Amino acid sequence: ATALIWFRNDLRLADHPALRAALEAGYTPIPIYIHAPDEHASWRPGAASDAWRQRSLAALDRDLRRRGSHLRHFFGPSLATLQSLILATDAQAVFWNRRYEPHIERRDTKIKQTLRGMGLEVESFNSALMFEPWSLRTKQGGPFKVFTPYWRSALANWKEEPSWEPPASLPSTREGPDGVPLAALKLAPERDWAEPFWSHWTPGEAGAEAALQTFVDGALRGYTEQRDRPDRVGTSRLSPHLHFGEIAPWRVASALREHRSAGNARDVDSAVRELGWREFAHHLLHHFPETPEQNFNPRFADFDWARLSQPRLEAWQQGRTGIPIVDAGMRELWATGWMHNRVRMIVASYLTKHLRYHWRHGARWFWDTLVDADLANNSLGWQWVAGTGADAAPYFRVFNPVTQSEKFDPDGDYIARWVPELAGLPVPLRFAPWQDAAQLRKHAPDYPPHPLVDLAAGRDDALEAYRKLRD
Ligand code: FAD
């Protein structure tokens, strides 16, 4: 008997509960992928995310072929595609691993009901989280809104998940249609602007495993301090691999915990805690499904966001604000599909406080440009910085991008790397180049001579808007 294994954001073979369940039940698995971007409501995957997915699907297919199987690709809609495949392959079961975006959860529930109604065995599994969003609750039985008690509860309920390796060869069948070639899904951009990404990243399960190894052998030691330094490789860079399910979070957590020793206990604990933020973000998205669009904190409904100026928004998007650390971050994002977490906070604070634009404008840009774009993490990140979220930084905490860069990029190396026209300036001037107009003109005639908004005035306006809200 055959079972369709519907791959989604679980593009790996190890620790793959749906595949494992099918094999253990004696099914011949038929691995499939269905491209159905219209089923993502207003969160159709962005261009950078699609470019990653294309490579990750190719890697998965290679890994399957090495085991005598292969991945079949189809165009959506999902339900109709599954139904016709069931008929064509005579499949008796459909297995998949769960996703937690609210619109996908709704879709999947409907699909499950319909297929079960046809008499099929349909099961979904957890591949993406250490704690499914509904599994941890406050003493009162409700969802957590604050991270610290959430994380305390997670640690108290921690279960080490044993890892699972797929067999060296997989049973396979040629029954049924083979679908379309991967290229026909048109996930890769026509004009290949993403080509430079791939000197930074290796999408796929092997790339994820290698990134984990590099991290535990390297940046894990000192992570607690180094994780805030965008000028160093101080973090794991696992976020896109985790988003696409190329590695199980419990595998990452176990690898980290295996390296725990007297010398680096603090580093291991802080790295595992960051994975906890990812878990918390999924918990919030599940219980508060409107947070990708709406302020978590309803008090901000009347907040006086500034009227959007397209040229200003574009200056932020393209890294031409005249604030070097902000521009460096936005250019790193454009060049690599990723931005360091500290700098994400700085650019987000600048957009939502100094420019006073609604966080949604920033979240949308990140959505389209990040290779790790993730509805749960991105919504939490933006609402956290904007001060509108659950357990957020208070709105009145406005990052000063100049002091932030002095503190976290003390030699101006990060700025020099991503805004190379400023590399010729002496270090202190790299943080605030407008302070010496003559030098700026000499070294970087094309760099904005003044910041888009005066930092002090922008901050005052933001605080004034916040005060009005309080009164
Ligand atoms: P590490 O420091 O090595 O952390 C390990 C893993 O923990 C990460 O891969 C990630 O999965 C998780 N993690 C770390 N920090 C956070 C966090 N603050 N929130 C949730 N999970 C976290 N992360 C995304 O994966 N997708 C997004 O779309 C996204 N958007 C963000 C937007 C804003 C405005 C901000 C401030 C943060 C956003 N983050 C997002 C969180 C964070 O910046 C990235 O997860 C992190 O920079 C990834 O780098 P890393 O893998 O080296 O992290």
Spatial CB neighbours of 205, under 8 Å, sequence gap ≥ 6: 11, 12, 13, 14, 59, 60, 63, 246, 247
Q: Does the beta carbon of 274 sit less than 6 angstroms from any atom of ligand 1?
A: yes
Q: How many other β-carbons are positioned within 10 Å of the β-carbon of residue 310?
A: 7
Please work out whether the CB of residue 374 comes within 6 Å of at least one atom of ligand 1.
yes
Same domain, 418 and 353: yes
**Spatial distance between the Cα atoms of 208 and 238, rounded to a whole number of angstroms:** 7
CATH code for the domain in which residue 338 is found: 1.10.579.10
Q: Are residues 102 and 32 in the same domain?
A: yes
Q: Is 374 annotated as a binding residue?
A: yes
Residue 235 CA to ligand 1 center (angstroms) comes to 10
Helix (H, G, I), strand (E, B) or coil at 74: strand
Q: How far apart are CA 410 and CA 336, in angstroms?
A: 22
Ligand 1 centroid to 464 CA: how many Å? 31
Where does a domain end: 82, 111, 127? 127
Q: What is the pLDDT of residue 192?
A: 86
Q: Ligand 1 test: best mutation among 241, 259, 341, most atoms within 8 Å of CB?
A: 341
Q: Are residues 405 and 324 in the same domain?
A: yes
- Ligand 1 center to residue 341 CA distance, Å? 6
Please indicate, yes or no, if residue 189 is contained in any of the structural domains: no
283 and 335 both lie in a single domain: no
Please report which helix (H) or strand (E) contains residue 29, including its range. strand 28-35
SS3 202: coil
Neighbours of 17 (CB within 10 A): 20
16 C-alpha to center of ligand 1: Å?
23
Is residue 349 lining ligand 1, measured as CB closer than 6 Å? no
- The CATH number linked to 83 is 3.40.50.620
Do 411 and 365 fall into the same domain? yes
ipTM over 0.90: yes
From 201, 239, 252, give the residue whose CB has the most ligand 1 atoms within 8 Å, as the site to mutate.
Answer: 239
φ and ψ at 180, to 5 degrees?
-110, 160
Residue 262 amino acid letter: A
Domain of 57 in residue numbering reads as 2-127
Q: Is residue 233 part of a domain?
A: yes
Q: Whose CA is nearest to atom 43 of ligand 1?
A: 341
Q: Which residue puts its alpha carbon closest to atom 4 of ligand 1?
A: 274
Which is it for the CA torsion 385, 390, 395, 397, positive or negative? negative
Q: If DSSP codes are grouped into helix, strand and coil, which group holds residue 276?
A: helix
Assess if residue 40 is contained within a domain. Answer: yes
Mean pLDDT (10-residue bins), the chain, 471 residues: 98 98 98 97 96 98 98 97 97 98 97 98 98 97 97 96 96 95 94 92 98 97 97 98 98 95 93 98 98 95 96 98 98 98 98 98 98 98 96 91 98 98 97 97 97 97 93 74
Residues 20, 104, single domain; the answer is yes
Nearest-CA neighbor of 180 among 291, 32, 294, 41?
32
Domain end call among 259, 287, 315: 287
353 and 234 within one domain: no
Compute the distance between CA of residue 379 and CA of residue 290 in angstroms, rounded to an integer. Answer: 10
Which of 214, 243, 274 to mutate to test ligand 1, by most ligand atoms within 8 A of the CB atom?
Answer: 274
Q: Which atom of ligand 1 is nearest the CA belonging to 239?
A: 9
On whether residue 109 sits in a domain, the answer given is yes
- Measure Cα distances from 22 to 27, 58, 95, 201 in Å: 5, 22, 7, 31
Same domain for 114 and 211? no
Three-state secondary structure call for residue 124: strand
**Same domain, residue pair 383 and 423:** yes
Residues 455 and 394 placed together within one structural domain of the fold: yes
What pLDDT does residue 290 have? 97
pLDDT (0 to 100) of residue 362: 98
| 331 to 325, 335, 343, 391: CA distances (angstroms) | 10, 6, 11, 29
Phi, psi dihedral angles at 265 (to 5 degrees): -55, -40
Domain assignment present for 170? no
In a domain, 39, yes or no: yes
Verify whether ligand 1 is closer than 6 Å to residue 224 (CB atom).
Answer: no
Last residue of a domain, one of 84, 109, 127: 127
Cis peptide before 166 (omega within 30 of 0): no
Structure tokens at 23: 């094999």
Give the list of residues 6+ apart from residue 199 with CB closer than 8 angstroms, or none.
none
Distance CA 234, CA 257 (A): 18
Residue 36, in any domain of the structure: yes
| Ligand 1 near 238 CB (within 6 A) | yes
Chain position carrying tokens 């590399």: 423
Q: Is 280 helix (H, G, I), strand (E, B) or coil?
A: helix
CATH at residue 229: 1.25.40.80
What count of other Cβ atoms lies within 10 Å of the Cβ of residue 43? 19
For ligand 1, the distance from its centroid to the CA atom of residue 238, given in whole angstroms, is 9
Return the pLDDT at 262.
Answer: 86
Asked whether residue 309 falls in the same domain as residue 438, the answer is: yes
Verify whether ligand 1 is closer than 6 Å to residue 243 (CB atom): yes
What gap in Å lies between CA 92 and CA 140, rounded to an integer? 42
Give the dihedral sign, CA 382/385/388/392: positive
- Our answer on whether the CB atom of 418 is closer than 6 Å to any ligand 1 atom is no
Q: Is 305 within the bounds of a domain?
A: yes
User: What is the reported pLDDT for 410?
Assistant: 98
Q: How many domains does the chain have?
A: 3
Say if residue 252 is in the same domain as residue 369: no
